Amino acid sequence: MKKTFTFFVCALLCHQLQSQQVTIPLSPVSFPLDVFPVEAGKVEFWAKLSGYSGSIAANGLAPHFFKIQDEKNVFHLGFNPDDGEGNGGLSSAAGYNFYAGSGAAGSYTYEQILGEGQVGEWHHYVYQWNRNGIPGVDNGRRNLAVFIDGVLNTTSWEILGPATLNPFASCPTFNLITTGDNPGIITGEVAIDELKIYDAGNNLVLHNTLGSEAEIENSAVGSNGHYNGTGGAHFVPGMSGNAIMATPVYSIGEPDCSLPVLFSGIKAWQKGKAVQLEWAVATESDIDRYEVEKSANGKDFVTVQRLASKNNNYQAAVYNWLDVSPLQHNFYRIKAVDRSGKAKHSVIVSMQAANGQAALLAYPNPVKTSATLNINAAASTRLSIQVYDSKGILVSGRQTNIPAGNSSVGLDMAQLNKGLYFAVINWGGQMKRVKIVKE
């Protein structure tokens, strides 16, 4: 169902001194704020354009893949020949501090960014940010970067003010298929498939296949999305099943404060013969309690502990619990319950360690679209993953840096055929071979 909402918008959005009342539709698809980490993370998806060629329109009228924004923060990725901060091409922002683009501001064409004859094809995008610098990008000196098909597209950067990222002041939504800061008419369509968001620890916070209204409203991992149906939204063949396609819609979203808690991290590590669990919330209000849920297989969870909330005053908080009776394989998640009984779950973190040595676990297994590799490393190190089919043929691979302690790294298997695979993982002088079944 298509929806609109009315609000008062000030100079920040309208570039006018006086406030005025406007009616802005919602973007075709949106997600609640809790899918989006602030200080560091990664947004990954497949996308293709239809009806775009030649020069990229200025004044915020070119397509944007996503945007999340309020008066304290803005994160976005889209096409813009001049972002107003000296960058152009495929431009991006992280907070009102970090800005980046394919190059310096100027005239750009879609073909310059995506290649001749490639504008209407599927491309893989990775938008990555870290207020402390992204490892491997200009020796860690850059805080924001965009990769297209595995190649760094960003060559121009600008930092305004202190190198910090502030928490959101409200509950904005994460909006797909939108535009810049201009509600003018825009043509053409954008298709997006297989949306994934990772937090600073490489934990998979959101995975939504975007293949139908039902799939959008039932995420594989993380909070469910909202199918708003604007922009003539429809579904087309994607990289894995179907994908959402729509004309970009100017929207800053509709505040979604359905549960007043925002998880900012969860981690687990071995402590003697026990497992130490720690989770953090960026803000909490009207929360009654947190329930620790535990599983042996990552699917069937039981409540093993309840802790009362600390603050309930919109402040950050950190909670700890020691599991003195860990299983061989341990999966944990946190359930926040407010005073009305509504609940929200954190992401799942897993832990498998023997005598304090580095260990690895892959879940779920069997897998349908993506697996998570949980690695416990003694020190920060380079991680290499190679996936072979049952005939010993290399079918995929990736490399990334992981910190000391527990890390979760996503393994995309959506494009692989059903069958038996072997993942060979190397890190910190360790090597593991894991059998994975693709359903």
pLDDT of residue 326: 80
Residue 342 lies in a domain: yes
pLDDT of residue 182: 66
Residue 12 lies in a domain: no
Q: Which residues of the chain have pLDDT under 50?
A: 1-24, 355-358
Integer Cα distance of 139 and 55 in angstroms: 33
Residues 197, 35 contacting (CB under 8 angstroms): yes
* Total domains present in the chain: 3
Burial of 185 (C-beta count, 10 Å sphere; 0-12/13-18/19+): exposed
418 and 338 both lie in a single domain:
no
Q: Which of 216, 246, 276 is the last residue of a domain?
A: 246
Domain holding 336, by residue range, is 261-351
216-228: burial string, b at 16+ Cβ within 10 Å, e else: beebebbbebbbb
Q: What global pTM score does this model have?
A: 0.61
**Cβ neighbours of residue 145 under 8 Å, at least 6 residues apart?**
100, 127, 128, 129, 134, 137, 152, 154
Query: What is the separation, in whole angstroms, between the first and last Cα of the chain?
Result: 33
Integer Cα distance of 109 and 58 in angstroms: 11
pLDDT of residue 5: 40
334 and 370 both lie in a single domain:
no
Integer Cα distance of 374 and 402 in angstroms: 11
Burial of 324 (C-beta count, 10 Å sphere; 0-12/13-18/19+): exposed
Distances (CA, A) of 216 to 50, 80, 226, 337, 347: 21, 28, 7, 24, 18
277 and 170 both lie in a single domain:
no
- Output the six-digit token pair for 161: 């003010």
Residue 5 lies in a domain: no
Q: Which of 291, 325, 351 is the last residue of a domain?
A: 351
Residues 159, 98 contacting (CB under 8 angstroms): yes
Residue 32: which CATH number? 2.60.120.200
Q: Which pLDDT tens digit goes with each residue over 92-114? A: 999 888 999 999 999 999 999 99
Residue 433: which CATH number? 2.60.40.1930
pLDDT of residue 269: 82
Q: Which of 302, 317, 351 is the last residue of a domain?
A: 351
81 and 125 both lie in a single domain:
yes
Residues 218, 212 contacting (CB under 8 angstroms): no
238 and 367 both lie in a single domain:
no
133 and 204 both lie in a single domain:
yes
Integer Cα distance of 96 and 430 in angstroms: 41
242 and 283 both lie in a single domain:
no
Residues 202, 374 contacting (CB under 8 angstroms): no
Going along 200-316, which residue ranges are E strands? 204-208, 226-227, 234-237, 242-246, 261-271, 274-284, 287-295, 301-308
265 and 171 both lie in a single domain:
no
75 and 133 both lie in a single domain:
yes
pLDDT of residue 281: 82
39 and 180 both lie in a single domain:
yes
79 and 212 both lie in a single domain:
yes
Residue 20 lies in a domain: no
143 and 228 both lie in a single domain:
yes
Other beta carbons within 10 angstroms of residue 6's beta carbon come to 9
pLDDT of residue 310: 84
Residues 264, 282 contacting (CB under 8 angstroms): yes
pLDDT of residue 354: 52
The answer to whether the peptide bond before residue 135 is cis (omega within 30 degrees of 0) is: no
Residue 15 lies in a domain: no
Residue 347 lies in a domain: yes
pLDDT of residue 119: 95
Distances (CA, A) of 168 to 85, 171, 173, 403: 22, 7, 11, 26
